[in-house]
A and B are shown apart, each in its own frame.
Chain A
Amino acid sequence: MPTITLLGPQRFTPTLGEAVARAGISGRLASVTAGWQEREAEDLELHEHLGERTMNLMLYARSEDVFERDPQLAAAYRERQERLRELQELYRLRLDYAQTALRELELRSGDPELLAPERESALQAIRALDEHHLARVDEVHAGFVRQHHPAGRPAVERHSRQMVRQLEKVDGLAIAGGHVAILINRMRLFDLDEKLAGKAVFAWSAGAMAIAERVVLFHHFPPQGYGNTEILEHGLGLARGLVLFPHAGRRLALDDRRRVAVLARRFAPALCIAMADGAWMALDERGHAEGVAKGLRSSGMSRLMADGTVVSLEAE
C-alpha cells in the first residue's frame, strides 16, 4: 500500500513541493499527466516545481502506442468506451428523474410525518441507482479484462515492464489532474495501482478523484441543465472512505444547505471533501482519513456535512 497525500488544484496555488518535503521524500518522483492527454509531455512547470526530480511515465503516449501496436485491443477498448458512454447516458436519464423527485419533495411543504419518509426513500432510491450503475460499469470492465486480458498482451506488458523499472528508481508518484476518465483508464490499462507498494503518492484534482473509491462528477452551475452530481465509476480505491470535490468553491453551491446535505447523505458513510486550491491531506497507512479529521494532517480541506454545513477539517 502506498502512502497517500491528496492535494487541491495546483495551478494557482502549487503546494506539491511542500507536500513532498513534508512526506520526507528527497529522491526522485515519477509523474502521471495522462489527464492532459496530448499535452502530457508539457510538464516543465511540474518538473521545475519539484526541483527537476520528476520522470514522466507518459501513460497517455504509452497507451497510444499500445493501441497502434495492438489494433484488436484498440478496437475492443473503443467498443468498451462506447458501451460505458451509453451506460452513463442511461444512468443519467434515470438519475435526472430521481434527483427531480427528491428535489421536489425537499422543496414541498406539508406534514413532516408524511414528507420525511418520502424524502428519505427518494434519497435511498438515488443511492440504490448509484450502486446499480457502479455494478453495471464494473461488469463492463470485468468483461473487457476477461475477454481481452490486456495485462497479458505483449504491447501492454512491454510498457508495464518499463514502468516497473522506472518506478524502482523513484520514491514516489505525482498524479496530476485533467480528464478524469482518460486518466483512470490509462492507469487501469497498465495496472499502475498494483505497482505502487511502498511508494508515496501525491495526487491532485482529477488525480485525487481517480484514486478514490468512487469517481463522482459534479458541477452545480452548468450552462445546460440542473447540474445533477453523478457517479462515473469505481476509482482505483487507494484513498478510502472519501468522495473528493476539487474546485469545490467554483463548482459547488457550498452555501446551498439543501444541496450540500444531499451530497453528504447520498455518499455516506464516505466523507465528502471539498478541496480548495492548494489544500492538502495526508492519509493514514491504510488510505483512510480518520487521523485527518483531527486536523493534524491536512490544510484547506472541508467536509460537507449531513446538515448542509461545510466544516473545515482543521476546525473539526
Chain B
Amino acid sequence: MTLAISSLLAEADLQPSRIDAFLAGHSAPIVEGRTVTFLFRGEADAVFLQHWIFGLPSAQPFTRVQGSDLWYLTQEIPVRSRVEYKLEVQRGDVSRLIRDPLNSQLAHDPFGANSVCLGAEYRVPDWVSPNPEARPGKLEKVRVASTTLDGAQEVQIYLPARYRASRRYPLLIVHDGADYLHFSVLKTVLDNLIHRLEVAPLIVALTQSRQRLRDYAAHGEHSRFLAEELLPALEARYPLQKGAASRGLMGASFGGVAALAAATHYPGRFGRLLLQSGSFAFTDIGPSRRGPAFEPVVAFVNGFREAPARVSERVFLSCGVYESLIYENRSLVPILQSSGMDVRYVESFDGHNWESWRDRLREGLSFLYPGPLWMVYE
C-alpha cells in the first residue's frame, strides 16, 4: 500500500494549493493500517511529536516537505491503539507545546487536554455515550466525619436508577472519584452498564483526596479512613449488602496503590479490587529512581511482593502497554495470583490516561459486580 504522504511527496513542484487540497482530503493524523502519518502546517524550525509511549523516544522529529510549510512524521502504531500526544513546535529560541491543530479529537484530563490518535480498528465503546434508553442514576453529596484525615471529607454518592431503600446494594469506593466522573464519564458508564444488565445495580462512593500524593501512597491513615470511617458511615446511611464480596475499592495510578494498600491493611474487608495502571513501583535491589513521592509506595509494594497475602477475593488489574508502569503491573499479576485471589489482568494499546481507564471499565466492573444479564428480560 502506498501511503498518502508518499504519493504526495512523489508529486513534482508542490504548490500551496495542492497542499491545501491534500489536507482538505484527509483527516489528520492519517491512519493507514498500522502506519500513522502526523501532519503539521506552519512556519517552524523543527516540529516534534510529544507522546507518552513508553519504549519510543518521547520526542519524534517531523520532516519538512521540501519547499513548503508542511511537516510530517510517519510512525508505526499497532491496530486498536489509542495514543495521546501533543506537538512541540520550535521557532527560533521559542518552543511551544500545542495540541494538533489539524486534529479535532481531544482527550481531557486534570491538566488540560491532549490530541488523540485513534489507531486502526480502535472504536470508542458505545457504552461511554449517554443512552436515552438507560435510566439515569443519581449523584448526591455526603460529608463524612474523619479524625484520620484532614477533617470531614466530602464524598459523592452514585445511586443507581430505580434505587430503593428497601433493597440492598453492593458498594464500590472509588479513588479520584471526581476525575473518574469528569474524564472517564463514570456516571454515564455506570448508567449504561447497569441498564444493559452487565453490571449489578450498585452504590458508588466517589472520594477525592485533598492530599493525594500523601494519602494514596499506601498511607495507613487513608486506609483507616476508608475502613473505619467511610465504610461505617455509608453502612449507616445506605442499604448496603454485608460481606467482603459486596465491597470494592477502585483506583487508577496512585489510586490503585491506595486501593490495594487499604485491602492489605484491612484484609478480608474489601473483596473486590479494580486497579488501573497502578503505580506499583518496587525495587529488587537499590533505591527506586521514581522520586521521593514513591518511597512509601516502594516500601509497601516490596513488602507485598515478599509476603503476598489473599487480602481480597477478586481483582481486576489493567494497564496500557504504552505506560512505563506496564513492567510493574505485569510483575504484580503472578504475585496476586499466588496469593489465591481470582485475578483478571487486561492490557490495552493505550497509555496512562483517563480514557484508557474508561475503556476498561466494562470488563472490570462486569467481572467484579456481574449483573443479571442472563436472567433478566424486560
User: Which residues does A use to contact B, with CB under 8 Å?
Assistant: 9, 11-12, 35, 38-39, 177-182, 205-206, 209, 217-219, 222-224, 230, 246-247
Chain B residues whose C-beta falls within 8 Å of the C-beta of A246 in the assembled complex: 377
In the complex the two chains form, is A39's CB within 8 Å of B378's CB?
Answer: no
**Other-chain contact of A224, B166, B366, B375, B376 (Cβ < 8 Å):** B366
> In the complex where A38-B164, A38-B166, A39-B164 touch, is A206 in contact with B377 (Cβ < 8 A)?
yes
> In the complex where A12-B133, A39-B164 touch, is A177 in contact with B377 (Cβ < 8 A)?
yes
Chain B residues whose C-beta falls within 8 Å of the C-beta of A205 in the assembled complex: 377-378
**Max chain A CB contacts within 10 Å: which of B167, B366, B377, B378?**
B377
Chain B residues whose C-beta falls within 8 Å of the C-beta of A206 in the assembled complex: 376-378
Answer whether residue B183 sits at the interface, using C-beta atoms and an 8 A cutoff: no
In the complex the two chains form, is B376's CB within 8 Å of A219's CB?
Answer: no
In the complex the two chains form, is A222's CB within 8 Å of B373's CB?
Answer: yes
> In the complex where A38-B166, A223-B363 touch, is A217 in contact with B198 (Cβ < 8 A)?
no
> In the complex where A38-B164, A39-B162, A224-B367 touch, is A180 in contact with B378 (Cβ < 8 A)?
no
Answer whether residue B372 sits at the interface, using C-beta atoms and an 8 A cutoff: yes
Closest residue of chain A to B376 (Cβ to Cβ) is: A179
Given contacts A179-B375, A219-B373, A223-B363, 16 further A-B contacts (CB under 8 A): A12-B133, A38-B164, A39-B164, A177-B378, A178-B376, A180-B375, A180-B377, A182-B375, A206-B376, A219-B374, A222-B374, A223-B198, A223-B362, A224-B363, A246-B377, A247-B377
Q: Write the nearest CB–CB distance from B76 to chain A, whole angstroms.
A: 30
Pairs A-B, 4 closest by C-beta atoms = A223-B366, A206-B377, A205-B377, A217-B374
Within 8 A of A (CB), among B183-198: 193, 198
**Max chain A CB contacts within 10 Å: which of B133, B198, B372, B375?**
B375
Chain B residues whose C-beta falls within 8 Å of the C-beta of A181 in the assembled complex: 375
Within 8 A of A (CB), among B319-378: 362-363, 366-367, 370, 372-378
A-B pairs with CB below 8 Å: how many? 54
**How far is it, in angstroms, between the C-alpha of A206 and the C-alpha of B367 when the chains are bound?**
24
Q: Write the nearest CB–CB distance from B162 to chain A, whole angstroms.
A: 7
Closest residue of chain A to B344 (Cβ to Cβ) is: A224
Q: Write the nearest CB–CB distance from A212 to chain B, whole angstroms.
A: 12
**How far is it, in angstroms, between the C-alpha of A217 and the C-alpha of B377 when the chains are bound?**
9
In the complex the two chains form, is B376's CB within 8 Å of A38's CB?
Answer: no
Closest residue of chain A to B167 (Cβ to Cβ) is: A38
Interface flags for B129-169 (1: CB within 8 Å of A; 0: not) read 00001000000000000000000000000000010101100
Within 8 A of A (CB), among B259-291: none
Q: Write the nearest CB–CB distance from A215 to chain B, whole angstroms.
A: 10
> In the complex where A39-B162, A39-B164, A223-B363 touch, is A178 in contact with B370 (Cβ < 8 A)?
no
In the complex the two chains form, is A222's CB within 8 Å of B198's CB?
Answer: yes
Chain B residues whose C-beta falls within 8 Å of the C-beta of A217 in the assembled complex: 374-375
**How far is it, in angstroms, between the C-alpha of A70 and the C-alpha of B376 when the chains are bound?**
28
What is the interface size of chain B, counting residues whose CB is below 8 A from a CB of the partner?
Answer: 19
Chain A residues whose C-beta falls within 8 Å of the C-beta of B378 in the assembled complex: 9, 11, 35, 177-178, 205-206
18 contacts between A and B (CB under 8 A): A11-B378, A35-B378, A38-B167, A177-B377, A179-B372, A179-B376, A182-B375, A205-B377, A206-B376, A206-B377, A206-B378, A209-B377, A219-B373, A223-B363, A223-B366, A223-B367, A224-B366, A224-B367
**How far is it, in angstroms, between the C-alpha of A219 and the C-alpha of B377 when the chains are bound?**
11
Q: Write the nearest CB–CB distance from A43 to chain B, whole angstroms.
A: 13
In the complex the two chains form, is A178's CB within 8 Å of B377's CB?
Answer: yes
Closest residue of chain A to B166 (Cβ to Cβ) is: A38
**How far is it, in angstroms, between the C-alpha of A35 and the C-alpha of B374 when the chains are bound?**
13
**How far is it, in angstroms, between the C-alpha of A223 and the C-alpha of B377 when the chains are bound?**
17
Chain A residues whose C-beta falls within 8 Å of the C-beta of B367 in the assembled complex: 223-224
Chain B residues whose C-beta falls within 8 Å of the C-beta of A247 in the assembled complex: 377
In the complex the two chains form, is A224's CB within 8 Å of B370's CB?
Answer: yes
Closest residue of chain B to A246 (Cβ to Cβ) is: B377
**How far is it, in angstroms, between the C-alpha of A247 and the C-alpha of B375 when the chains are bound?**
13
**How far is it, in angstroms, between the C-alpha of A11 and the C-alpha of B366 when the chains are bound?**
24
**How far is it, in angstroms, between the C-alpha of A180 and the C-alpha of B374 when the chains are bound?**
9
Chain B residues whose C-beta falls within 8 Å of the C-beta of A222 in the assembled complex: 198, 366, 373-374
**How far is it, in angstroms, between the C-alpha of A138 and the C-alpha of B370 when the chains are bound?**
27
Within 8 A of A (CB), among B104-138: 133
**How far is it, in angstroms, between the C-alpha of A35 and the C-alpha of B375 when the chains are bound?**
10
**How far is it, in angstroms, between the C-alpha of A9 and the C-alpha of B42 when the chains are bound?**
57
Q: Write the nearest CB–CB distance from B151 to chain A, whole angstroms.
A: 38
Q: Write the nearest CB–CB distance from B245 to chain A, whole angstroms.
A: 15
Chain A residues whose C-beta falls within 8 Å of the C-beta of B362 in the assembled complex: 223
Chain A residues whose C-beta falls within 8 Å of the C-beta of B374 in the assembled complex: 217-219, 222, 230
**How far is it, in angstroms, between the C-alpha of A218 and the C-alpha of B374 when the chains are bound?**
6
**Max chain B CB contacts within 10 Å: which of A12, A179, A180, A224?**
A224
Q: Write the nearest CB–CB distance from A273 to chain B, whole angstroms.
A: 13
**How far is it, in angstroms, between the C-alpha of A209 and the C-alpha of B374 when the chains are bound?**
13
Chain B residues whose C-beta falls within 8 Å of the C-beta of A38 in the assembled complex: 164, 166-167
Chain B residues whose C-beta falls within 8 Å of the C-beta of A177 in the assembled complex: 376-378
Closest residue of chain B to A217 (Cβ to Cβ) is: B374
Closest residue of chain B to A12 (Cβ to Cβ) is: B133
Closest residue of chain B to A250 (Cβ to Cβ) is: B196
Closest residue of chain B to A205 (Cβ to Cβ) is: B377
Interface flags for B281-309 (1: CB within 8 Å of A; 0: not) read 00000000000000000000000000000
**How far is it, in angstroms, between the C-alpha of A223 and the C-alpha of B361 when the chains are bound?**
10
Chain A residues whose C-beta falls within 8 Å of the C-beta of B162 in the assembled complex: 39
**How far is it, in angstroms, between the C-alpha of A306 and the C-alpha of B164 when the chains are bound?**
45
**How far is it, in angstroms, between the C-alpha of A230 and the C-alpha of B198 when the chains are bound?**
17
Chain A residues whose C-beta falls within 8 Å of the C-beta of B370 in the assembled complex: 224
Q: Write the nearest CB–CB distance from B376 to chain A, whole angstroms.
A: 5
Chain A residues whose C-beta falls within 8 Å of the C-beta of B167 in the assembled complex: 38
Closest residue of chain B to A219 (Cβ to Cβ) is: B373
Q: Write the nearest CB–CB distance from B164 to chain A, whole angstroms.
A: 6
Chain A residues whose C-beta falls within 8 Å of the C-beta of B193 in the assembled complex: 223
**How far is it, in angstroms, between the C-alpha of A128 and the C-alpha of B142 when the chains are bound?**
55
Closest residue of chain A to B371 (Cβ to Cβ) is: A223
Chain B residues whose C-beta falls within 8 Å of the C-beta of A35 in the assembled complex: 376, 378
**How far is it, in angstroms, between the C-alpha of A222 and the C-alpha of B378 when the chains are bound?**
17
Q: Write the nearest CB–CB distance from B197 to chain A, whole angstroms.
A: 9
**How far is it, in angstroms, between the C-alpha of A222 and the C-alpha of B366 when the chains are bound?**
9
**How far is it, in angstroms, between the C-alpha of A227 and the C-alpha of B269 when the chains are bound?**
32
